[in-house]
Chains A and B, each alone.
Chain A
Amino acid sequence: MTGRVLMAAAMLFLLAFLASPESFASLFKPFTRNNAPAIYTQTGLMSLTLSHLGLVLLAVIASTLIAVTLAILVTRPSGREFLPLARTVTSVGQTFPPVAVLALAVPVMGFGAGPTLVALFLYGLLPVFENALAGLTGQSPQVQEAARGMGLTPRQRLWQVELPLALPVILTGVRLTAVISLGTATIGSTVAAKTLGELIIAGLLSSNTAFVLQGGMVVGILAVLIYEGFQRLEQLAAARIGQG
C-alpha cells in the first residue's frame, strides 16, 4: 500500500515538474553557480521527455515483437536447428556494451535519432529473447501432453497454452529492456538524438549541476515507475495462469 502511495506521489511530482518546471526553480537554485539559470529552457522539458519516451517506446515495441517472434520460431520443431546458435548469440550479444553499439550505429545511420533507435532496438532484443526462450522452453511436458491430448492444433497450443504460460517471464524481459533503454537513450544525446540526455550534457558542458540533477531525476523517476508498472503486469499475468 505504501508502495502505491509513493508511486502515485512520484508520478504527481514528475507531472507537476514537467508541466511547470519554473515553479521548481528555487529547489534547484542552490545547485547553480554564478547566477546560472536553474531550469533548462533551450528545449521544453516536456517535449524532451516525450521524445525520450517515444524513442524508448518505439524501440521496446519493435524489439519485443521481433524477439518474441524469433523465440517462437526457434522453439517450433521446424526451427529447432537454430536454437543452440540463438542461445550463444544471445549470451555473447549481451556482453556488447550498449554505448559501443550506439557508437557503431553512427557510421551506418548518421547522427540523430536513427542510431539511437537502432542501438536501443538491437540491445533490447536480447533480454526479451532470452526470457521468451526460457518461458517457452521451461514448460512442463505434462502440460504440453495434456494440450495435445485435448486435440489442440500446434497453433492453438501456441496461442492458448504456451504463450499465456510464458507471458510473465516474457514481461520480465520487456521490463529489463525498457529500463535499460531508458538509461541508454540518455547517451543518445551524444549523437544528437532528442532525449533527456540533452539536459544532462548541457549541464556537464556548462558545469551546471542543476541541469544534471533534473535530467537524472526525470529519467530515474520514469524508470522506477515503468519498473513498478511492469511488475504489476507480471503479477497479473502470473495470477491469470494460477501462479499468483
Chain B
Amino acid sequence: MRSVRMAAALMVLDAGLAGMVWAQEQAPREAQPCFACHGERGQGTTQGPMLAGLSTQYIEAQIDHFISGQRSNPLMTPMAQAYTDLQLRRPVATYFASQGKLPELHVRGQLQAGSAAERLYYQGDITRGIPACYSCHGPSAVGGGPFPRLAGQQADYVSAQLLAWQKGERKGDPGNMMAAIAKRLSAEDIQALGRYLAAIQ
C-alpha cells in the first residue's frame, strides 16, 4: 500500500518536473516582439544585449526605467512603452530570467586575480574607493534581485552602460550606487571589465 502511494507520488512529482521544463522551453506569446533584437532565448544579438539569466525583478525594473526616461534608447523606449501593463510584462521577464545556464561559480578569495579586471571584480581598488564588483553582482557575476547578471553579457554593451552611468545618461540604479562607482573607473577599466565579464561562461 505504502509503495503504491510512493509510486503515485513519484509519478506526480515526475509530471510536475516535466511540466516545469516544458514551461521554460516554451516562450510566451508576449515575448515574441523581443526576439528580433534579444534572440529567442534571450541570448542577445548584434542589435540587443543578452537577457537570459537576468532576474525577473531587474528586467521589469529596466522596462520601467525606459518608460520613465531614466534609460533611453531609440529602439527600446517605444518597445518598453508597449509593456506598461504588468500582465504583459511579467511573463516576458519570467521567461528570459529562466533562460541561460549558470557559469562555473567562483566565490571571493578563490581566484588569484589573473587580470586587472578580475582584480577589480573580486577585490575592488581601495585607493580609488571602488568596492569589489562581487559585493553586489556575486560569484562569477551571476547577479540576483536588483543586481544584473553580467556573466556572458556582451562586452560592448557592458562598456557602453558603464560609460552611460559615468555621463549620467543612465539612471535608476538602487541608491545611485552604480553611477557613483562608474565615475571612479578609468576608460581602460571599462573596456577591460566589458571583455572580462563577457568571457565568463
A and B from one assembly?
no
Q: Interface residues, chain B, CB within 8 Å of chain A?
A: none
Q: Interface residues, chain A, CB within 8 Å of chain B?
A: none
